Amino acid sequence: MTSRLFFIMILLPHILLAQIPSSTKQLLVVSTANWSVSSAMLQRYEKISGKWKKVGKAISVKVGKNGLAWGRGLHRNPKGSKRLKKEGDGRAPAGIFRLTYVFGEKSKNIKFPYRQMTRQHHCVDDSKSQHYNLVVDSRQVKKDYKSFEYMKFPSGLYSYGIFVDHNPKRIPKAGSCIFIHIKKASGKPTVGCTAMSKPEIAGIIKWLDPKKKPLLVQAPKTHIKSLFP
């Protein structure tokens, strides 16, 4: 560790040090004004000739009704932080996360891996289940869970969606079923996901390129630079 880095860590112990993998060429960067608000701005970035360039205009999105908390992803959470994502806390995860696949009700002509959902597909949020934090076809697994989320329902909020690889080790009670999806017509915040309008998410889905290893970077403005300089 260099003396400069040591000096930074002494002065700013709350700052989390992270690095975007060199293989990643696309980012969705979501920033909030602070830890408690549910409104945020999303800006796309693409790495061109070794430099990050903005793609399109920033868009207004909604996150958890209780704001953000450090999640579990590719980053390292600040040591001793009490602001950690938990199951049912109404907070969206902050940090750096892989985007696993796109899902929806109808097949889409996209480049990214896609899973079509039916009413029988459930995302399991029961920490006691062996299927915790997984989307399963309830017709094909032993249903050992009592709590889950339907992956298709009348409101159409999941007509398009992106599965965020939060809590990949599926640690019980550490938070599950985190998506990017369509926001409610009322504009109300989510219970832990990141939501936007249907045209906006459709545009993002078409833009995502699996060869560019896209990631979600999400945090309050005060911490974004520690994740994405």
Helix (H, G, I), strand (E, B) or coil at 210: helix
Spans of all domains in the chain: 17-227
Nearest alpha-carbon partner for 215 in 34, 68, 19, 14 = 19
Mean of the per-residue pLDDT values for the chain? 91
Give every CB contact of residue 211 below 8 A, 6+ residues apart in sequence.
Answer: 25
Q: Give the 3-state secondary structure percentages of the chain, helix then strand then coil, rounded to 5.
A: 15, 35, 50
161/115 Cα distance (integer angstroms): 10
The pLDDT of residue 20 is 92
39, 115, 225 from 220: Cα distances, Å: 11, 31, 10
pLDDT in tens, 72-102: 999 999 888 889 999 999 999 999 999 999 9
pLDDT in tens, 191-200: 999 999 999 9
Give every CB contact of residue 16 below 8 A, 6+ residues apart in sequence.
Answer: 70, 75, 76, 77, 78, 223, 226, 227
Give every CB contact of residue 221 below 8 A, 6+ residues apart in sequence.
Answer: 31, 32, 33, 34
pLDDT higher than 50, residue 10: no
pTM listed for this prediction: 0.91
pLDDT in tens, 106-147: 766 789 999 999 999 999 999 999 999 999 999 999 999 999
The pLDDT of residue 11 is 35
HEC readout, 20-52: CCCCCCEEEEEEECCCCCCEEEEEEEEEECCEE
pLDDT higher than 60, residue 208: yes
Helix (H, G, I), strand (E, B) or coil at 224: helix
- Residue position matching structure tokens 């005060």: 222
The pLDDT of residue 18 is 64
pLDDT higher than 90, residue 13: no
pLDDT higher than 80, residue 62: yes
Q: Where are the beta strands (DSSP E) in the chain?
A: 26-32, 39-48, 51-62, 68-70, 92-104, 114-116, 121-124, 135-137, 148-150, 160-164, 179-182, 194-196, 215-220
The pLDDT of residue 106 is 78
pLDDT in tens, 148-193: 999 998 889 999 999 999 999 999 999 999 999 999 999 999 999 9
